[in-house]
């Protein structure tokens, strides 16, 4: 990164018109190549990010039902409706529960797996492969298999019956449905966080561990007083990434529960999708989209803030 | 003491030949040094390197008798072996929810519906049949849908690699005026989840008459928000590229494009590999966008098609659905097993930067 400054072939000069004339033809040609190279992504950002973002804000100020063919300016009416909508409150609550459950389970399990894999036990490479493999499995495929396992007469209850236990109809009760969605998601992606934690663990200086060991610190004490503080920036970063990701959960909900039973697993994104593409309420859905954007924006800014501290450990 | 402990620790490396062996080697030799400082103590910690060795390296007859009393050493060794055994057992137990679903998917796809519905689950199909696989292709244009997913993911991957490499290179190495402002503009895409813009994008695609075509699944990911991460990763890579290489190219009379194609791009293979892997998987797994943009079964992609195997009452035909799922999952899993290192590094990269 430090190499970047002297490297540049053509340093952007002062941008007064007078000095612009002095920029040589070769440098200008170089700039032209630069503009050409970034043109696709810049135009793409304008067309597929900035423009739609403006449009979604514009839509959110309108009463717009595609089926009814109405599109009238409504000011803040959609936002007032947001505040009063019990469905939205439920969706926010469902998102909150989902995010909390996911982040707690995911981080705990990822940390446990990373610590276990860091012990140089026999078969570590194989276990790492096992834990990581769901990450490359198609999300819908993974969810379908779990859906099959979680049916009332499915595999999980079948094996529970062999043990003399009677499992619930997992996907048909509010609480167990939410737990199921969370757990399916955790097993799908925990391997990724495990790898990030493993990298962080291997960055903890062995000298510190040794020094503590000589001071008579036990394994748990060493983990709590040395390892955990050393990798805490990674934990924070990974937590925020996981929370932001958890807000965008859609396919799992659609395949596993369809937002049900009732609306117990209708998270914010799913509610948005229902409003837009089931009820054709594009204006109201746009207001939900703006709300989602603000939430993600705040969380992402937090993440970037924490990265400043975290960057010290970058691999 | 020092000269004695270190070689022992060295040849008894538990992780020799595996990834991580280097690190454990370094750790062991440091442990060896600590022995030298505190010779012949009875601390449990000090015995660890030896303990590790005993588990994997077998008995060591050349051990100096003065080191420790045989009884306590044997006791320690047994305890350590027991603890390590318990940890391995824990890992095995924890592996079940990661591995079993894939096993259950593959074996259940070979079961007839009657066996799937039977109360007592069978680990291995009693009477394996490929009947469900026939139905996968009979009920839907599955081969066509497979091809759709494959070619869309391939085009998106190649397109993203190209576009992101160019933009990443220009942002990193060509100091054209406004480079930083444009980079920030592009980077803003990271802040916008695809769900936020799905309604306006649907309107745009609809307005262009491209609903139920593959265009929005190809063009938007290559140029829009999903490509931003790739641009970022490529830029980070090119920032670290030594300037001398470019200088050498310029001496040889290469222009900017020549330097990019012949020098920078070939050197960026590792970053491009990471980009290729996560871009392909992202496209291959896309779900919300296809169900919004596509409406006819011939145009469906795999994730969308998998959910369509339902009977007349809307209930899923499990064995057929699982057969289709198996066909979707196994090729990617196979590639993962072959190129595991690249997958893990490539995807961990996404996690960090995303």
The string of DSSP codes covering A203-268 is: TS-HHHHHHHHHTT--HHHHIIIIIHHHHHHHHHHHHHHHHHHHHT--HHHHHHTTT-STTTT--H
Burial of A6 (0-12, 13-18, 19+ CB in 10 A): exposed
Q: Which of A23, A38, A121 to mutate to test the interface with B (most CBs of B within 10 A)?
A: A38
* Neighbouring C-beta atoms of residue B252, cutoff 10 Å: 11
Q: Before A261, cis peptide (omega within 30)?
A: yes
- Contact of A250 with chain B, judged by CB distance below 8 Å, is answered with yes
Does the distance separating the beta carbons of A8 and B170 come in below 8 Å? no
Does the distance separating the beta carbons of A195 and B348 come in below 8 Å? yes
Determine which of A4-13, A93-102, B105-114, B340-349 has the lowest per-residue pLDDT on average: A4-13
pTM of the model as a whole: 0.80
What residues of chain A lie within 8 A of the CB of B102, using their CB? 133-134, 137, 145
Interface of A with B in 28-87 (CB under 8 A): 29-31, 33-35, 37-38, 40-53, 55-56, 59
- What mean pLDDT is predicted for residues B273-288? 90
Place of tokens 């330097």: B259
Interface of B with A in 74-133 (CB under 8 A): 84, 87-88, 90-91, 94-95, 97-99, 101-102, 104-105, 108, 117, 119-121
| Structure letter (DSSP) for residue A169 | -
**How far from A112 is each of A105, A133, B159, CA to CA, in Å?**
11, 17, 39
Query: How high is the ipTM of this complex?
Result: 0.83
Instruction: Output the pLDDT for position B219.
Output: 94
Q: How far is B66 from chain A (nearest CA, A)?
A: 22
Q: Residue B354 pLDDT more than 80? A: no
Does the distance separating the beta carbons of A44 and B250 come in below 8 Å? no
Place of tokens 């914010």: A268
> Which residues partner with A63 through β-bridges?
A72
Q: Which of B53, B94, B114, B175 to mutate to test the interface with A (most CBs of A within 10 A)?
A: B175
Tokens read off for B54:
């005993």
Does the distance separating the beta carbons of B197 and A289 come in below 8 Å? yes
Tokens read off for B139:
């009920």
Q: A16 φ, ψ to 5°?
A: -85, 150
- Contact of A160 with chain B, judged by CB distance below 8 Å, is answered with no
> Over chain B, what is the mean pLDDT?
78
Instruction: Output the pLDDT for position A26.
Output: 84
CA angle B274, B276, B278 (to 5 degrees): 70
For residue B280, the surrounding DSSP H or E stretch is helix B269-285
Q: Which of A10, A43, A254 sits opposite B174 (nearest CB)?
A: A10
Q: Residue B77 pLDDT more than 80? A: yes
Q: Which CATH number fits domain A85-313: 1.10.3720.10, 2.120.10.80, 1.20.1250.20, 3.40.50.300?
A: 1.10.3720.10
> Over chain A, what is the mean pLDDT?
84
Determine which of A15-24, A252-261, B133-142, B171-180 has the lowest per-residue pLDDT on average: A15-24
Q: Residue A2 pLDDT more than 60? A: no
Cα(B158)–Cα(B153) distance, rounded to whole angstroms?
9
What residues of chain B lie within 8 A of the CB of A284, using their CB? none
Tokens read off for B12:
């008894």
Q: How far is B62 from chain A (nearest CA, A)?
A: 25
**Could you tell me the pLDDT band of residue A21, with boundaries at 50, 70 and 90?**
low
Determine which of A95-104, A210-219, B58-67, B212-221 has the lowest per-residue pLDDT on average: B58-67
Place of tokens 């932001």: A244
Bridge-based pairing of strands A70-73 and A62-65 is antiparallel
Q: Which of A61, A127, A144, A218 to mutate to test the interface with B (most CBs of B within 10 A)?
A: A144
Instruction: Output the pLDDT for position B298.
Output: 92
Q: Residue B10 pLDDT more than 80? A: no
**Could you tell me the pLDDT band of residue B44, with boundaries at 50, 70 and 90?**
very low
Cα(A170)–Cα(A181) distance, rounded to whole angstroms?
10
Cα(A43)–Cα(B186) distance, rounded to whole angstroms?
9
Q: Which of A30, A134, A136 sits opposite B256 (nearest CB)?
A: A30
Q: Residue B351 pLDDT more than 60? A: no
Cα–Cα nearest to A129, from B339, B184, B241: B339
**CATH 1.10.3720.10 intervals, chain A:** 85-313
Q: A71 φ, ψ to 5°?
A: -150, 90
Q: Which residue has the higher pLDDT, A303 or A136?
A: A136
Q: Which of B203, B287, B352 sits opposite A196 (nearest CB)?
A: B352
pLDDT in tens, B148-191: 999 999 999 999 999 999 999 999 999 899 999 999 999 888 88
- Contact of A129 with chain B, judged by CB distance below 8 Å, is answered with yes
Does the distance separating the beta carbons of A161 and B199 come in below 8 Å? no
Helix axes B198-207, B215-223, angle to 10 degrees: 130
Q: Residue B51 pLDDT more than 70? A: no
Q: A244 φ, ψ to 5°?
A: -60, -45
Instruction: Output the pLDDT for position A37.
Output: 94
Domains of chain B in start order, with CATH, are 2-94 (no CATH), 132-353 (1.10.3720.10)
Decide: A98 and A249 in contact? Cβ < 8 Å.
Answer: yes
Does the distance separating the beta carbons of A251 and B223 come in below 8 Å? no
Closest-approach residue (CA) in chain A for B303: A140
Instruction: Output the pLDDT for position B111.
Output: 86
- Contact of A141 with chain B, judged by CB distance below 8 Å, is answered with yes
**Could you tell me the pLDDT band of residue B58, with boundaries at 50, 70 and 90?**
very low
Instruction: Output the pLDDT for position A228.
Output: 86
- Contact of A312 with chain B, judged by CB distance below 8 Å, is answered with no
N- to C-terminal Cα distance for chain A?
14
Q: Which of B87, B104, B199 sits opposite A155 (nearest CB)?
A: B104
Instruction: Output the pLDDT for position A171.
Output: 84
Instruction: Output the pLDDT for position A231.
Output: 86
Q: Which of A59, A123, A144 sits opposite B199 (nearest CB)?
A: A59
What residues of chain B lie within 8 A of the CB of A153, using their CB? 117, 119
Q: How far is A285 from chain B (nearest CA, A)?
A: 8
SS3 A73: strand
Decide: B111 and A147 in contact? Cβ < 8 Å.
Answer: no
**Could you tell me the pLDDT band of residue B310, with boundaries at 50, 70 and 90?**
confident
Residue A52, C-beta contacts closer than 8 angstroms, at least 6 positions apart: B197, B200, B201, B204
N- to C-terminal Cα distance for chain B?
49
**How far from A232 is each of A223, A228, B100, CA to CA, in Å?**
12, 6, 32
Residue A134, C-beta contacts closer than 8 angstroms, at least 6 positions apart: A142, A187, A188, A189, A191, B98, B101, B102
Q: Which of A30, A127, A293 sits opposite B174 (nearest CB)?
A: A30
**Could you tell me the pLDDT band of residue A92, with boundaries at 50, 70 and 90?**
very high
- Contact of A96 with chain B, judged by CB distance below 8 Å, is answered with no
């Amino acid at each position: 990164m430090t190499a970047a400054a002297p490297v540049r072939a053509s340093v952007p000069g002062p941008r007064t018109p007078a000095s612009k004339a002095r920029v040589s033809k070769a440098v200008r040609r170089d700039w032209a190549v630069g503009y050409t190279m970034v043109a696709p992504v810049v135009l793409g950002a304008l067309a597929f990010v900035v423009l739609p973002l403006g449009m979604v804000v514009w839509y959110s100020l309108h009463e717009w039902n595609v089926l009814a063919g109405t599109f009238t300016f409504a000011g803040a009416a959609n936002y007032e409706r947001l505040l009063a909508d019990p469905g939205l409150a439920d969706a926010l609550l469902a998102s909150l529960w989902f995010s909390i459950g996911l982040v707690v389970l995911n981080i705990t399990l990822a940390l446990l797996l990373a610590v276990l894999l860091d012990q140089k036990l026999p078969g570590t490479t194989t276990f790492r492969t096992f834990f990581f493999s769901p990450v490359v499995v198609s999300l819908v495929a993974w969810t379908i298999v779990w859906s099959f396992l979680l049916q009332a007469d499915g595999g999980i209850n079948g094996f529970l019956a062999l043990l003399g236990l009677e499992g619930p109809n997992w996907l048909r009760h509010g609480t167990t449905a939410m737990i199921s969605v969370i757990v399916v998601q955790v097993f799908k992606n925990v391997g990724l966080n495990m790898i990030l934690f493993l990298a962080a663990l291997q960055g903890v200086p062995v000298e510190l561990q040794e020094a503590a060991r000589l001071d008579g610190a036990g394994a748990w004490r060493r983990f709590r007083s040395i390892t955990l503080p050393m990798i805490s920036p990674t934990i924070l970063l990974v937590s925020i990434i996981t929370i932001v990701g958890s807000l965008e959960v859609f396919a799992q909900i659609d395949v596993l529960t369809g937002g049900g039973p009732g609306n117990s697993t209708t998270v914010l994104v799913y509610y948005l999708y229902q409003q837009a593409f089931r009820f054709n309420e594009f204006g109201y859905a746009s207001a939900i989209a703006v709300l989602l954007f603000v939430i993600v924006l705040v969380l992402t800014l937090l993440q970037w803030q924490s990265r400043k501290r975290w960057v010290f450990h970058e691999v | 003491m020092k000269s004695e402990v270190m070689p022992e620790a060295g040849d008894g490396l538990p992780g020799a030949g595996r990834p991580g062996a280097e690190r454990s080697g370094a750790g062991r030799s440091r442990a060896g040094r600590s022995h030298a400082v505190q010779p012949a103590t009875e601390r449990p910690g000090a015995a660890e390197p030896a303990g590790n060795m005993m588990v994997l390296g077998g008995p060591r007859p050349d051990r100096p008798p003065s080191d420790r009393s045989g009884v306590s050493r044997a006791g320690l060794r047994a305890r350590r072996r027991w603890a390590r055994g318990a940890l391995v057992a824990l890992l095995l137990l924890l592996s079940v929810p990661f591995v079993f679903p894939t096993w259950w998917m593959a074996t259940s796809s070979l079961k007839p519906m009657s066996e799937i519905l039977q109360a007592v689950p069978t680990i291995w199909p009693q009477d394996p049949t490929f009947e469900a696989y026939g139905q996968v292709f009979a009920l839907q244009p599955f081969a066509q849908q497979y091809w759709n997913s494959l070619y869309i993911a391939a085009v998106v991957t190649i397109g993203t690699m190209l576009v992101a490499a160019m933009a990443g290179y220009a942002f990193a190495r060509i100091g054209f005026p406004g480079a930083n402002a444009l980079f920030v503009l592009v980077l803003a895409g990271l802040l916008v989840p695809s769900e936020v813009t799905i309604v306006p994008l649907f309107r745009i695609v609809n307005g262009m008459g491209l609903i139920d075509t593959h265009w929005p699944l190809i063009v938007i990911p290559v140029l829009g928000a999903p490509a931003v991460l790739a641009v970022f990763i490529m830029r980070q890579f090119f920032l670290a590229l030594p300037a001398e290489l470019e200088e050498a190219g310029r001496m040889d009379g290469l222009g900017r494009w020549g330097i990019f194609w012949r020098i920078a791009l070939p050197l960026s293979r590792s970053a491009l590999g990471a980009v290729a892997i996560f871009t392909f998987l992202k496209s291959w797994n896309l779900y919300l966008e296809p169900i919004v943009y596509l409406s006819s079964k011939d145009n469906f992609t795999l994730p969308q098609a998998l959910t369509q195997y339902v009977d007349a009452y809307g209930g899923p035909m499990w064995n057929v659905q699982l057969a289709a799922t198996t066909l979707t999952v196994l090729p990617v899993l196979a590639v993962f097993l072959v190129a595991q290192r690249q997958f893990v590094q490539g995807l961990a990269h996404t996690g960090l930067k995303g």
